[in-house]
Amino acid sequence: MAKSEHIYGIHAVEAWLGRSPERLRQLWLQEGRDDARLQRLAAAAERAGVKPQRVPRTTLERLAPEARHQGVVAEVLPLPPGDESGLQNLLADLGPQALLLVLDGVQDPHNLGACLRTADAAGADAVVLPRDKSAGLTPVARKVASGAAETLPVFTVTNLARVLERLKAAGFWLYGAAGEADQSLYEQSLEGRVAWVLGAEGKGLRRLTRDHCDVLVRIPMGGTVASLNVSVATGVVLFETRRQRLLLPSD
């Protein structure tokens, strides 16, 4: 039987109740708070057959230590991320302007959550993570993602190099972000099926991952810092892709 976990934060719990209310086990709300957002969460939980419990703030802090719980903690049975076969099925259903984000070993759950939130906002179709050396969908990542972890397909794969080859076979052009690359982001024509590949904090892309990219590009920097946080870089490349596609003529 799957092990339950605690998620917290209004957006994360709200998104969970919208997608998988049947997997809710408990909902704790802070005593003395009766604002509209918590009322909506309580009503959604009751529709799912779970009676919310009003508890002191100290109880929530014990359930979600060192977290900004915003007055709500839920116990849920987490949905496992998709695997390689699920990704292959998704690829067959995606259109000619599909957009994917591949994260090569992002180990900070705050960064992972921020990347998921940005990918969802930019209209990405899915996010791919390696099973090893990656933060995974922890409660912290879910909280920072503000609901995107519950709505955006996330696939955890055992062999990232093999998956990159499958993306190529499915018609994706693989763009790797690397600060030392010769080509600029703003020199690229980002039409068609695109997968952006970004590396871990500090180390960047691993060599084997770099070798599988069709082209490496850099984000032109105008200041003195040498690089961007991976979640910020994700936002820059994904929204440049989206900007270009908004300029495409409609059918």
Question: 20-24, 39-43, 104-108: which has the minimum mean pLDDT?
Answer: 20-24
CA distance linking residue 109 with residue 114, whole number of Å: 8
Instruction: State whether 188 and 165 are in the same domain.
Output: yes
Is the Cβ–Cβ distance between 229 and 118 less than 8 Å? no
Instruction: State whether 64 and 136 are in the same domain.
Output: no
CA distance linking residue 22 with residue 190, whole number of Å: 40
Listed residues 58, 76, 94: the one ending a domain: 76
DSSP H or E segment with residue 155? strand 154-157
CA distance linking residue 87 with residue 83, whole number of Å: 6
235 is in an annotated binding site: no
Instruction: State whether 34 and 102 are in the same domain.
Output: no
Can you tell me the mean pLDDT for 64-87? Answer: 85
What was the pLDDT predicted at 168?
96
Residue 212's domain comprises 84-246
The pLDDT > 90 percentage for the chain reads 62
34 class by beta-carbon count within 10 Å (0-12 exposed, 13-18 middle, 19+ buried): exposed
Phi (first) and psi of residue 125, to 5 degrees: -85, -25
- Which pTM was predicted? 0.81
Can you tell me the mean pLDDT for 101-129? Answer: 94
| 163 falls within a domain | yes
Instruction: State whether 71 and 90 are in the same domain.
Output: no
Domain count, the chain: 2
Instruction: State whether 215 and 115 are in the same domain.
Output: yes
Q: How much helix, strand and coil, in percent to the nearest 5, is found in the chain?
A: 40, 20, 40
Instruction: State whether 137 and 160 are in the same domain.
Output: yes
Listed residues 76, 101, 135: the one ending a domain: 76
Is the pLDDT score of 210 beyond 90? yes
Is the pLDDT score of 244 beyond 50? yes
Residues contacting 25, CB < 8 A, separation 6+: 4, 50, 74, 75, 76, 77
219 is in an annotated binding site: yes
Listed residues 19, 50, 76: the one ending a domain: 76
Question: 2-6, 38-42, 74-78, 169-173: which has the minimum mean pLDDT?
Answer: 2-6
CA distance linking residue 160 with residue 184, whole number of Å: 25
Report the alpha-carbon angle 116-121-124, nearest 5.
70
Q: What CATH number has the domain bearing residue 95?
A: 3.40.1280.10
pLDDT band at residue 151 under the 50/70/90 scheme: confident
Can you tell me the mean pLDDT for 162-178? Answer: 96
Write out the two tokens for 71: 């007055």
Label residues 5-32 b or e (16+ Cβ within 10 Å = b).
ebbbbbbbbbbbbeeeeebbebbbbbee
Is the Cβ–Cβ distance between 193 and 92 less than 8 Å? no
Write out the two tokens for 145: 């993602």
185 is in an annotated binding site: no
Instruction: State whether 95 and 205 are in the same domain.
Output: yes
Phi (first) and psi of residue 35, to 5 degrees: -75, 170
Q: What CATH number has the domain bearing residue 68?
A: 3.30.1330.30
Instruction: State whether 66 and 88 are in the same domain.
Output: no
pLDDT band at residue 239 under the 50/70/90 scheme: very high
Is the pLDDT score of 250 beyond 80? no
| 45 falls within a domain | yes
| 172 falls within a domain | yes
- Best mean pLDDT range from 11-15, 55-59, 146-150, 227-231: 55-59
What was the pLDDT predicted at 114?
95
Instruction: State whether 50 and 173 are in the same domain.
Output: no
Instruction: State whether 28 and 123 are in the same domain.
Output: no
| 251 falls within a domain | no
Instruction: State whether 69 and 177 are in the same domain.
Output: no
What is the rounded average pLDDT for all residues in the chain?
90
Nearest to residue 64, comparing CAs of 76, 49, 82? 76
Is the pLDDT score of 1 beyond 50? no
Instruction: State whether 43 and 127 are in the same domain.
Output: no
